[in-house]
Structure 1
Amino acid sequence: MSLVIAEISYTNILPMFYYVDREKLKHAGCEFVPAIPSQLNQDMADGKVHVGGISSFAYGEHSEEYQVLPDLSVSAMKQVGSIFLFSKKPIEELGGASIALTSSSATSVNLLKIILSKFYQLNVTYTTMAPNYSVMMNDHDACLLIGDDAILTSFSKQDAIYQYDLGCLWKLFTGFPMTFALFAIRKEAWEKHGELLAEVHRQFLKSKLLSRNNRFSEMITSIRVQLGGTTDFWQTYFAGLNYELTETHLEGLHHFYDLAYELNLLTQKVNKVSIWNPTENFHSV
């Protein structure tokens, strides 16, 4: 059985994949498959994928089943730069509004529900839709987009539309960084592919380090060909992201999970985040 690694196409997770030696890993028994976050979450749950950068919320739904690779995440200390609520009116005036949610997300969708309910005390109605800004805003007061969809929309939105960064809102109200994705592992991966998994982890860490050390310059060149934007924009964007998994990140995650449980977004309380350790199998924090 090969070790199936899901690869999200979004730019925010690209630093962990950009310098990975794919040929070496494929030769060793890895298979890379493309995915969007919502599909990856389901594929992990179904056992079609063994390792992937899943939504933090999806980890919360499977916290007793999955472990996470250490020192890896997609987080924001403040602004995330690619998860936006676009609104026809100020966020404080969204009481009773209808909001279109992207079908591509789990963490961001539930983060928005927490922000509007717990922090702004707003009652709104939600509709989940394919991520198309024009269609979403046609019949709704606001919409949530993530990843490259959000970035491209921010480039071209009308000046009259309000734009809110969910990472900034989370930081404002909690003081914590927001961890949007974790690199999760299914049980069969750590039991049957421990040595290969260790090499995959080393490759992810190497790619993260190389990307950061060259200020994401090579990666940005290829991104601009696909998505446009200036070098300064992309360097600022990546400078706002964080790819660590420290105790502070974990504190913020636990707070997110607690609030999600209070709002019945999670059916079970998340008591621990299990970190994979190649020598000790795992430990919990």
Structure 2
Amino acid sequence: MMSWMDVLGRVSFSNCDPIFDGIDQDWSVLPAPPAWLTGHVLRKDCLTAPIPAADYALHHDELFLLPDLGIVSSGDVGSVLLFGSRPLESMRDIALPSDSSTSKVLLRWALKNRGLDPKFVDSGPDIDTMLEKCDGALLIGDRSLMASRQYPDLVKLDLGREWNDSTGLPMVFGVFAARRDAPEEHLKKAYNDMMTQLTKFESDESWRTEVISRSSEKLGFPYDRMDDYFQREVRNRMTPRDVEGLTTFLEVACGIDKGPKWAFHSE
């Protein structure tokens, strides 16, 4: 019988394909929406997973983070977008998707920062349904990428860009979390295997092309759009500057006045 310590959770979007495409087959991979992965980690369904940074804030006493890995943007993120049929300033209500946590906290922070106070309505993550009942719709991940391709004129705000413009810092949307009682030996193996794949994606041009080709086929997107997404918008290697962005987000948007707790430090 497979143990939870042999399972890695992953976001069921393209944004962490560079880590999980080709991962060592010793691991079983559990795909789920970001907000569901938090529960999977806490319930011991998997050893570690990229959970929303806002969920780490909620459960920071029970979890710690793996270093160097995340879901990060330095400006436009391209896949955490607010859509709308009217300008941001005149939106009366905004539909929020059920599969997200960080983006909802970030949107509330951003609108408050701008002096705006629309009503929020929880919704399934379908742009047509959301905009039928609300002036605005927040979408994340592949659904957001696809909606921006289908309705480019409806994109009103890129939340990665908004955070970066407001703070000057990168935005860390997802963090690789584990329970504090997870065995360090297993966590280090998971970390090493994930970093191996990420480094291969970053340094081996032919492998990078293969991974992006699979991502673009999965979404029915042109290769060039996905190449741009991984080149310019989303990345998975977390730098010290990104950690500064994460710490600031935890403090100003989530009310956590202490920085992240790490499972161990990278060599």
Match of 1:274 among 258, 261, 265: 261
Q: Distance in 2 between matches of 1:228 and 1:259?
A: 38
Runs of 4+ in 1 over 4 A off after TM superposition: none
CA shift, 1:43, in A, is 2.2
Aligned residue in 1 for 2:135: 141
Aligned residue in 2 for 1:195: 185
Q: Which amino acid aligns with 1:217?
A: T
Q: Which amino acid aligns with 2:110?
A: I
- Could you tell me whether the CA contact under 8 Å between 2:4 and 2:47 is conserved in 1? no
Change (3 A) 1:65 1:218: same
Match of 1:20 among 15, 18, 23: 23
- Structure 2: tracts of 5 or more residues without a match: none
Q: Distance in 2 between matches of 1:142 and 1:16?
A: 32
Q: Distance in 1 between matches of 2:189 and 2:152?
A: 46
Q: Distance in 1 between matches of 2:179 and 2:152?
A: 43
Aligned residue in 2 for 1:186: 179
Aligned residue in 2 for 1:253: 246
Return the TM-score normalized by structure 2: 0.91
Percent identity of equivalent pairs = 29
Superposition CA RMSD, Å:
1.9
CA shift, 1:69, in A, is 1.0
CA shift, 1:277, in A, is 1.6
Q: Which amino acid aligns with 1:219?
A: V
The total of aligned residue pairs comes to 261
Aligned residue in 1 for 2:50: 53
- CA deviation map 1:220-275 (0-9, x unaligned): 211222211211111111012222222221221122122224xxxx5xx2412111
Q: Distance in 1 between matches of 2:64 and 2:251?
A: 19
Q: Distance in 2 between matches of 1:115 and 1:33?
A: 32
Match of 2:102 among 95, 102, 107: 107
Aligned residue in 1 for 2:75: 78
Change (3 A) 1:271 1:230: same
CA shift, 1:21, in A, is 1.0
- Could you tell me whether the CA contact under 8 Å between 1:63 and 1:270 is conserved in 2? no
Return the TM-score normalized by structure 1: 0.86
SS at match of 2:253: helix
Q: Which amino acid aligns with 2:193?
A: Q
- Structure 1: tracts of 5 or more residues without a match: 281-285
Q: Distance in 2 between matches of 1:198 and 1:121?
A: 44
